[in-house]
């Protein structure tokens, strides 16, 4: 379907649907203003309401569809702009871009999920920087050990020597403890190389039994070269991941975990687009894939409940609409509406019975018409 610019879209709406405006009802002029200002929340809500009031107006439904596509293009443009800002570490500006777009289209699932993903990326970036600072401090403490020893030899009577040494040792122990905690966290995530890197540095800073035990329990992997500029797998793009979730060299690592997270993020975006487009069947199919990946994920649980609620509402509305059409003896239209509802609720026996009765009634009417023609 070709996407129309907002002005042309509403011009058509004004010409074709001027009969819809009643006392107290928002008219085409207001909708035109909203669309020209990218106020898609108000515009879509009004168009959807008028479509529900005039369900048989095919032209109105087509215009609503075009407005949705324009809104989706607007949302995608804002998400891309926010992503570019985030890549420059301009996180506040990136979040403000999404927040501004959400004010214009607050119902958008795409923008809501993009906002959550952006906040997750920012927190990941914060964690990365804090980790890099911690590792850098650990290296600095190790490198300054020689200077402390030489100072003790050169000037053993220095007044603050003992105090400086105690302060230095306390900091080494504090950094070692934090590295031990971090190693345990990332080991649970599957990033064994990062865990090993943190434990080796922790051992050099403060060789405690707890650190040695943690190193002993670590599965055997190739030893990290401490001279390299280490970058954790959790901050790298996954590469060479097999179907079984192992890296190219067979090592079970954070690569699989990261790939699964990115797969989930991709599905979340697809789910949001389907939801904004009103395709509840596709949204449910995508939701099932997300549940298979991580059923305990908070966002997945939340969206699953939302999807179920929207499906129930859709089925109830279409069932009621089909009942209304059937009572008006518009049997074929009623069947079409009930079929749409049944696709989302295939186990609804009452709805299936309505369809069966309607098909039987329609068949009877056709037979009667054929008899009358004879």
Give the pLDDT confidence of 323-370 residue by residue, as tens digits: 988 888 888 888 988 998 999 999 889 999 989 999 998 888 887 877
Residues 54-94 pLDDT 10s: 777 788 788 888 888 899 999 999 999 999 999 999 999 99
Contact 200, 215 (CB under 8 A): yes
Using CA atoms, how far apart are residues 72 and 118, in angstroms rounded to an integer?
18
Q: Hey, which of 50-54, 250-254, 258-262, 369-373 has the most confident mean pLDDT?
A: 50-54
Q: Is the pLDDT score of 259 beyond 70? A: yes
Residues 12-32 pLDDT 10s: 444 445 444 444 567 778 888
Q: Hey, which of 26-40, 96-110, 128-142, 324-338 has the most confident mean pLDDT?
A: 96-110
Residues whose CB is less than 8 angstroms from the CB of residue 25 and which lie 6 or more positions away in sequence, other chains included: 50
Contact 355, 331 (CB under 8 A): no
Give alpha helix (H) positions in the chain.
6-17, 28-36, 40-53, 58-87, 91-104, 109-143, 145-154, 161-189, 192-205, 209-217, 254-277, 280-293, 298-327, 331-344, 349-373
* pLDDT for the residue 25: 63
Vertex 202 angle, CA 198 and 204, to 5°: 120
Predicted structure pTM score: 0.66
């Amino acid at each position: 379907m070709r996407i129309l610019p907002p002005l042309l879209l509403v011009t058509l709406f004004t010409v074709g649907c001027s009969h819809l405006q009643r006392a107290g009802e928002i008219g085409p002029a207001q909708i035109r203003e909203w669309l020209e200002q990218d106020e898609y929340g108000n515009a879509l809500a009004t168009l959807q309401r008028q479509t529900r009031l005039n369900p048989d107006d095919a032209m109105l439904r087509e215009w609503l569809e075009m407005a949705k596509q324009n809104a989706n293009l607007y949302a995608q443009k804002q998400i891309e702009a926010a992503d570019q800002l985030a890549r420059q570490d301009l996180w506040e500006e990136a979040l403000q871009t999404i927040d501004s777009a959400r004010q214009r289209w607050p119902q958008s699932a795409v923008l809501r999920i993009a906002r959550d993903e952006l906040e997750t990326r920012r927190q990941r970036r914060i964690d990365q920087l804090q980790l890099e600072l911690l590792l850098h401090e650990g290296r600095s403490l190790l490198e300054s050990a020689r200077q402390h020893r030489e100072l003790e030899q050169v000037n053993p009577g220095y007044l603050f020597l003992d105090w400086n040494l105690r302060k230095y040792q306390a900091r080494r122990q504090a950094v070692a403890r934090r590295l031990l905690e971090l190693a345990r966290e990332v080991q649970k995530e599957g990033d064994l190389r990062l865990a090993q890197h943190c434990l080796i540095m922790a051992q050099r800073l403060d060789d405690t039994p707890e650190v040695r035990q943690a190193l002993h329990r670590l599965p055997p992997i190739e030893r990290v070269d401490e001279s390299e500029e280490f970058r954790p797998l959790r901050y790298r793009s996954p590469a060479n991941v097999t179907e079984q979730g192992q890296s190219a060299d067979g090592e079970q690592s954070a690569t699989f975990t990261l790939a699964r997270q990115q797969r989930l993020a991709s599905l979340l975006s697809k789910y949001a687009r389907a939801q904004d487009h009103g395709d509840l069947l596709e949204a449910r199919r995508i939701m099932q894939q997300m549940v298979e990946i991580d059923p305990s994920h908070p966002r997945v649980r939340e969206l699953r409940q939302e999807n179920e609620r929207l499906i129930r509402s859709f089925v109830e509305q279409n069932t009621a609409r089909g009942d209304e059409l059937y009572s008006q003896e518009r049997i074929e239209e009623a069947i079409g509406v009930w079929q749409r509802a049944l696709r989302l609720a295939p186990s609804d026996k009452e709805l299936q019975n309505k369809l069966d009765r309607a098909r039987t009634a329609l068949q009877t009417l056709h037979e009667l018409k054929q008899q009358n023609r004879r």
